Amino acid sequence: MTSIKQESLTFREAKRQRYENARQTAALFLTGGLDLQKAQQSSGAERINILRRLRRLMERERLKGARNHWSYDLNRHIALSQALKRLASNEAQNVPLHH
């Protein structure tokens, strides 16, 4: 593969990741008033509370969709889901397997 083509692919992937991060950050802030960057830096009880709140937001969004509520937004639902997975996967890395 030529270096220009590789650079192009690398640029596109970086752009896609920035877009996903911005979408998740906006959805999290607009629906729950949470800052994604601060949430990623949290740990312990604070992280558990953030994850609970995010799961509650996801459930509310899911219920809106199930009821065909006018304010339901599939893109917001997807972004919240991705943010939850992102934070939960980071949490799984920080928590020991044995309780």
At 42, list the tokens: 């949290």
91: confidence class by pLDDT, cuts 50, 70, 90: low
pLDDT band at 43; cut points 50, 70, 90:
confident
Using a CB cutoff of 8 Å and minimum separation of 24, what contacts does 74-82 make? 75/23, 75/27, 76/27, 76/30, 76/31, 79/23, 79/24, 79/26, 79/27, 79/28, 80/24, 80/27, 80/28, 80/31, 80/54, 82/20, 82/23, 82/24
- In order of 26, 39, 83, 90, 98, the CA distances from 22 in angstroms are 6, 14, 11, 18, 35
Q: 44: alpha, beta or left, given left = phi > 0 and alpha = psi -120 to 50?
A: left
The model's pTM: 0.69
Question: Residues of the chain with pLDDT > 90: what percent?
Answer: 32
Residue of higher predicted confidence among 18 and 43: 18
Q: How confident is the model at residue 13 (pLDDT cuts 50, 70, 90)?
A: very high
Indicate the range of 37-41, 57-61, 63-67 predicted with least confidence: 37-41
